[in-house]
Amino acid sequence: MVYLTRKEYFCASHRLFNPKFSDEKNLQIYGKCAYANGHGHNYELEVTVVGEPVDETGMILDLKILSDIIKKEITDKVDHRHLNIDVDFLQGIIPTAENIAIVFWNILAPKIPVGKLYSLKVYETPNNFAEYRG
Ligand code: NI
């Protein structure tokens, strides 16, 4: 099997807080990430597809096609948005990298035309990222 990865980027704001917790508890848990008006990240999204060894095209999946799917389904909808407020498929969840990775996976997995989604990584910063494998 061959693992093929496409990286995409988006900028968005979010706020980490749980409405079930007091303001004080949210600050304890999430620190600055709980500040009322949110904050931004330059997110990176890595999508890895696994497939059979290459066919006569030399590819398992055209990376342009994969890029177009990621843009259409995900990044066009989250780029320059406030994830807590503006994005319908992120309503009702705490937009941690973990939760975002799971939601993005569930959207993308059925859209991969060749091979299978293997791994989805959401980087909030170069140091912090979440990976989901279904
Ligand atoms: Ni944050």
Mind listing the pLDDT tens digit for each residue in 58-111?
Answer: 899 999 999 999 999 999 999 999 999 999 999 999 999 999 999 999 999 999
Q: Is 44 designated active site?
A: no
Distance 71 CA to ligand 1 centre (A): 22
pLDDT in tens, 11-50: 999 999 999 999 999 999 999 999 999 999 999 999 999 9
Distance 3 CA to ligand 1 centre (A): 29
Pairing mode, strands 116-123 and 39-51 = antiparallel
Distance 124 CA to ligand 1 centre (A): 7
Start-to-end Cα distance in the chain: 18
Q: Is 80 designated active site?
A: yes
Number of neighbouring beta carbons within 10 Å of residue 87: 18
Q: pLDDT band for position 54 (50/70/90)?
A: confident
Question: Taking the model in full, what pTM does it have?
Answer: 0.95
Q: Which domain holds residue 108?
A: 2-132
Q: Is it the case that residue 56 has pLDDT exceeding 90?
A: no
For residue 37, the domain's CATH number is 3.30.479.10
The structural domain count of the chain equals: 1
